[in-house]
Amino acid sequence: MELDRPSWAALRAATPLSLTEQELERLRGRADPTSLTEVRDIYLPLSRLLNLYVKATRERHNAVRAFLGDDDRPSPFVIGVAGSVAVGKSTTARLLKALLEQWPDHPHVELVSTDNFLYSNAVLAERGIMNRKGFPESYDRRALVRFVSAMKAGAAEQEIPVYSHLAYDILPNERQVVCRPDILVVEGINVLQPPSAGRLAVADFFDFSIYVDAKVEHIRSWYLDRFLELRRTAFSDPRSYFHHMATTVDEADARGFALRTWQTINEVNLVENIAPTRGRATLVLHKGGDHQVRRVRLRKT
Ligand SMILES: Nc1ncnc2c1ncn2[C@@H]1O[C@H](COP(=O)(O)OP(=O)(O)O)[C@@H](O)[C@H]1O
Ligand SMILES: CC(C)(COP(=O)(O)O)[C@@H](O)C(=O)NCCC(=O)O
């Protein structure tokens, strides 16, 4: 079913807004204008709905465990967050983590971004796919599926690689430790990709999935604005892979570079690989040009 913003916002019911402006500031992505009004109208109803899903899924698991005489701990509820580069998935995922942690029955929420499963630049260069970063073949999909499958099977702790936007690469000496959570949020552009024949895909482990959607021309302008904002901020760090964009390249050329990156990599990936997975999501958040969610589509079954 499709709901407009006011109808969706009304579903918040009595869910309290417990996030402060300072906390939101910390959770928001670069150049992302998500406001407390957006949290109240869009994310609180979503948090309430997800709480109902988590409870119902737990009850079903408990019934099956009782049937099997199995006294293992229940496995985490897994949520996938998909959508284009620069659509605001990571803000959505961080907000969900902050809001879901406030429900007393699932206080431990872990967030994993799939960029951690990108192949290193060295491997991408060796395979000649450095200009395909973000395309399905640029990820170690087997490692990602193994990780989510192990968490779902109740593994106590898993170590995964760490990707840095600053280095624009996997950090060879760092690992992220993920301890068994009540809820695992897996965020990334390709998380709703269907499996290839006879294989499993990470989406096979999702209990709920969200696709963050917007018109291509809006996402393009968000990508360009963010790139220029990063040029003024993160790229000025001498360790940044894009440092030259802040020093030797002027603003017009930096904009031209970002536009080419968008047109030749991110938009192609959006059209060919990401947008076709939208219909697989349990819920679609559709944003207008001002980044605000205008419509919500929910699959009832
Ligand atoms: N080159 C970069 N340097 C620093 N941070 C970046 C860079 N590119 C993207 N980011 C940050 O990484 C996060 C993820 O970005 P992205 O994968 O485009 O997804 P989304 O915008 O949907 O969250 C965002 O918070 C963004 O601000
Ligand atoms: C790292 C990304 C592939 C996103 O990865 P995700 O966490 O969504 O799997 C993307 O942010 C990216 O860097 N794309 C490459 C082209 C570009 O520099 O915009």
Q: Is the CB of 89 under 6 A from ligand 1?
A: yes
Q: DSSP secondary-structure letter at 233? A: T
Q: Is pLDDT of 72 > 90?
A: no
Query: How far, in Å, is the centroid of ligand 2 from the Cα of 133?
Result: 6
Q: How far apart are CA 292 and CA 155, in angstroms?
A: 38
Could you report the per-residue pLDDT of 110-145, keeping only the tens digit for each?
Answer: 999 999 999 999 999 999 999 999 999 999 999 999
Could you report the per-residue pLDDT of 8-39, keeping only the tens digit for each?
Answer: 999 998 888 888 889 999 999 888 889 999 99
Of the pLDDT bands very low, low, confident and very high (cuts 50, 70, 90), residue 3 is very high
Of the pLDDT bands very low, low, confident and very high (cuts 50, 70, 90), residue 73 is confident
Q: Which residues line ligand 2 (CB under 6 A)?
A: 85, 113-115, 133-134, 188-189, 261, 265-266
| ipTM rounded to 2 decimals | 0.94
Cα 225–Cα 116–Cα 219 angle in degrees, nearest 5: 25
Which domains, and CATH codes, for the chain? 2-298 (3.40.50.300)
Query: How far, in Å, is the centroid of ligand 1 from the Cα of 290?
Result: 18
Residues 223-239, mean pLDDT to the nearest whole number: 95
- Backbone phi and psi for residue 257, each to the nearest 5 degrees, phi listed first: -65, -45
Kindly give the number of the ligand 1 atom that is closest to the alpha carbon of 85: 18
Strand partners, 169: 164
Query: How far, in Å, is the centroid of ligand 1 from the Cα of 15?
Result: 30
Query: Minimal CA–CA distance to 49: which of 10, 18, 88, 86?
Result: 10
Q: How far apart are CA 214 and CA 288, in angstroms?
A: 6
End-to-end CA distance of the chain: give it in Å, rounded: 10
pTM for the predicted model, two decimal places: 0.96
Stretch (H or E) spanning 81: strand 77-83
- pLDDT at position 106 is 75
User: Which amino acid belongs to residue 271?
Assistant: V
Kindly give the number of the ligand 2 atom that is closest to the alpha carbon of 191: 9
User: Which amino acid belongs to residue 144?
Assistant: L
How far, in Å, are 30, 34, 50, 112, 113 from residue 26 at the CA level?
A: 10, 11, 23, 17, 17
Q: How far apart are CA 217 and CA 219, in angstroms?
A: 6
Kindly give the number of the ligand 2 atom that is closest to the alpha carbon of 117: 9
* Nearest protein Cα to ligand 2, atom 1: 115
293-298 β-sheet, strand order: 2-4, 293-298, 283-287, 208-213, 77-83, 183-187, 109-113
- pLDDT at position 14 is 83
Pocket test for ligand 1, best of 27, 32, 90 (most atoms within 8 A of CB): 90
Contacts of 104 (CB under 8 A, 6+ apart): none
What does pLDDT average to over the chain?
95
